[in-house]
Structure 1
């Protein structure tokens, strides 16, 4: 008579990844981040302080004179890029890093959704901009960057740098701040109600994005611009969709400013 050997226990399957608010995938043992609205307020303070410092540093540029490269780089790019860098650093020091906390990841489905909503948003934005200029006039509808380059010529290299920033780099920086850091801060307060957390994050980030440009006459128009961008963040659950939608929305304005700054076309 033989004695049967005891069976080894069958190892349990690893628990599947959990879907976080908005549909992003996160490991089940990922701790929640430890930053909130205070982090966003700090980033906004850095943005405003840097912009004010750069404005004083550069001084006034005479109308009709070519814009030096330093004005293009420092006046329009540096403040937002520094603020976005501070936001990324905060997620590293007080959370799980930007890829996890801000839900930065590559997905072709997100790109497609971002493209679709960006094109739709561009159509609505163009229509809203036309109506807006009819109501308030061309002068009051001009953006701060458009006013910066109006009646001034740029060198080709400066104009190209401005175009690349407005089209590609600027949207990435702004999305990190508003649909990344601010969105995560709102979700942190509303984590018990996932659905309402997403809605609250969408509404708050859309409103703050429009108001943070400090262009009161264009706030309503900026709200129209921000809605499809925020919807891309809602539908995908990640930052890539809103970045792509933002870049699509910025393409035509960036081309217009490029041509105008080179003297090829007028505003």
Structure 2
């Protein structure tokens, strides 16, 4: 009987299968915490550099360059560096960051996103009652508060906050940082995932550099991290993050367009 007839592979090769699910796993990536720290440094340095060269005029409408450069570019640059690292030092983002499309991940991400949205809304309300409205306001909300923007600028910010920003942040925290933690030697794969969940949740909240909102950001981060934990892939957390950002993005869009008075 031939190899093709028996379904067995030749010595030293992976078994043949239609979906390649039984193929040998790819080699471990060669990046770790150093890669994540580099990406964080790029994020902070690019934000500081762009802020210094752009600036803003108090009391004036937010220019398009502030919206695009100040809000979007630092995170997008950092996420691009994260992807580049996986290409140069690993197997690419699809393998190293577990970035693959699976409909079950989308459905689970939607569920966790809805739970997260509910928790975030309730948490923000309680936080506002205890601490005050100012301390519950994000840095981006403060940027556009009481300042009308052009329609194009407001739409660009809305799309970024709802769709693009979550992808970039998930590549960094639930992708690169998560992979760095799992790469360590753990007693079991499950312990490595638990450690990755805990650390990425804490770092995500702290990395926003908004100390007064860290507790609220932790609450926001938990359902997103659980989507990554339960699916084992990044898509679930991306969808959950996007769901969680939808209503805040709408609120900022309405405020930026000056529609709150209607």
TM-score, normalized by length of structure 2?
A: 0.92
What is aligned with 1:171?
166
Change (3 A) 1:154 1:200: same
Q: How does 1:193-212 map to 2 (within 5 A)?
A: 193-212=188-207
What is aligned with 2:175?
180
Q: Find the partner of 2:35 among 27, 36, 39.
A: 39
Tell me, in whole angstroms, the C-alpha distance in 2 between the residues paired with 1:26 and 1:138: 54
SS at match of 1:264: coil
**Deviation above 4 Å: which 4+ runs of structure 1?**
7-11
Instruction: Please state how far the C-alpha of 1:8 moved relative to its aligned partner.
Output: 6.0
What is aligned with 1:4?
none
What is aligned with 1:217?
212
* Residue 12, structure 1, aligned to residue 8, structure 2: yes
Question: Are the aligned partners of 1:98 and 1:104 in contact in 2 as well (CA < 8 Å)?
Answer: yes
Tell me, in whole angstroms, the C-alpha distance in 2 between the residues paired with 1:71 and 1:180: 28
What is aligned with 1:262?
257
TM-score, normalized by length of structure 1?
A: 0.91
Tell me, in whole angstroms, the C-alpha distance in 2 between the residues paired with 1:8 and 1:206: 52
Q: Which runs of 5+ in 2 are unaligned?
A: none
Tell me, in whole angstroms, the C-alpha distance in 1 between the residues paired with 2:22 and 2:109: 21
Q: How big is the alpha-carbon RMSD for the aligned residues of Structure 1 and Structure 2?
A: 1.7
Q: How many pairs are equivalent?
A: 252
Tell me, in whole angstroms, the C-alpha distance in 1 between the residues paired with 2:2 and 2:97: 43
Larger Rg, first or second structure (1 or 2): 1
Instruction: Please state how far the C-alpha of 1:15 moved relative to its aligned partner.
Output: 3.6
Q: Find the partner of 1:51 among 20, 32, 47.
A: 47
Q: Find the partner of 1:68 among 63, 70, 84.
A: 63
What is aligned with 1:236?
231
Question: Are the aligned partners of 2:170 and 2:234 in contact in 1 as well (CA < 8 Å)?
Answer: yes
Question: Are the aligned partners of 2:7 and 2:16 in contact in 1 as well (CA < 8 Å)?
Answer: no
Change (3 A) 1:27 1:89: farther
Q: Which runs of 5+ in 1 are unaligned?
A: 1-6, 18-24
| C-alpha distance after superposition, 1:129-169 (max 9, x if no partner) | 00001111011111000011112110000000000000000
What is aligned with 2:78?
83
Question: Are the aligned partners of 2:97 and 2:179 in contact in 1 as well (CA < 8 Å)?
Answer: yes
